[in-house]
Amino acid sequence: MDKEIREKMVLVCQSLIKMLEVVFDGFRRPTEKSFQEASEIKDKVLHYSSELTSFVISKTPLSEKGREWAKPYLSMTSSFDRMTYNMEGILDRLRIKAENHILFSDRAVKEINDVFQEARRLLENLPDLILTSNKLLAQRIEEEGKAMFKIANGYSEEHEERLIQGICVPKSSPIYLGIIESLKGVIGHTLEISEKIISLSQKS
């Protein structure tokens, strides 16, 4: 992988990690300051992502082979952008939760906390993977990400069952489920980027 592309990808990753940390803080201690900070970091992420896209396009030869070369890089940039919008979706739900004084049960808080922690941990591995293309690290990301997907799906299914039974409060349910789905999106795009990095390393 081109050295400059690696460096620009790491910049995107580092800003995404920071954004997720601030969003996580907004979940634990919702304040307008934390929401505003996350929005400002989002702008930085999109700026770095746009720079990455422009750089890849500038290096792409005007040929079919060149377009094939660019595809995985542009796909990873798209994954970065979608992670950003997943995090923005969490922020929107947290704002609604705070403005309407909606409370989650202790169980819901723990479950969201679990998925948040794992999403952040997986994302924190991406800069190292980008720089090293370490297959063992990629394998660990894949295994742990898929395991968390299964757990998160279980959380959603159990929550829906509790809602049917009248245990959960209906107005909190779409917010809870939306946050879980957005975190699954962050994990899913992390896995996609990891797979493409290893695929590129095998071609070089």
Is residue 119 within 8 A of residue 183, CB to CB? The reply is yes
Which CATH number is 27's domain given? 1.20.58.220
d(CA 184, CA 90): 11
pLDDT confidence of residue 45: 92
d(CA 164, CA 167): 8
Q: Which two tokens stand for residue 126?
A: 């991406």
pLDDT confidence of residue 141: 95
Full domain range(s) for residue 34: 3-203
Is residue 84 within 8 A of residue 12, CB to CB? The reply is no
Domain count, the chain: 1
Tens of pLDDT, residue by residue, the chain (204 residues): 778 999 999 999 999 999 999 999 999 988 888 888 988 999 999 999 999 999 998 888 777 776 788 889 999 999 999 999 999 999 999 999 999 999 898 899 999 999 999 999 999 999 999 999 999 999 999 999 999 999 999 999 988 888 877 777 778 889 999 999 999 999 999 999 999 999 888 765
- Cα 93 off chain centre by: 16
Residues 6 or more apart whose CB falls under 8 angstroms from that of 54 comprise none
Q: Extract the runs of DSSP E, i.e. beta strands, from the chain.
A: none
d(CA 161, CA 154): 11
Is residue 172 within 8 A of residue 160, CB to CB? The reply is no
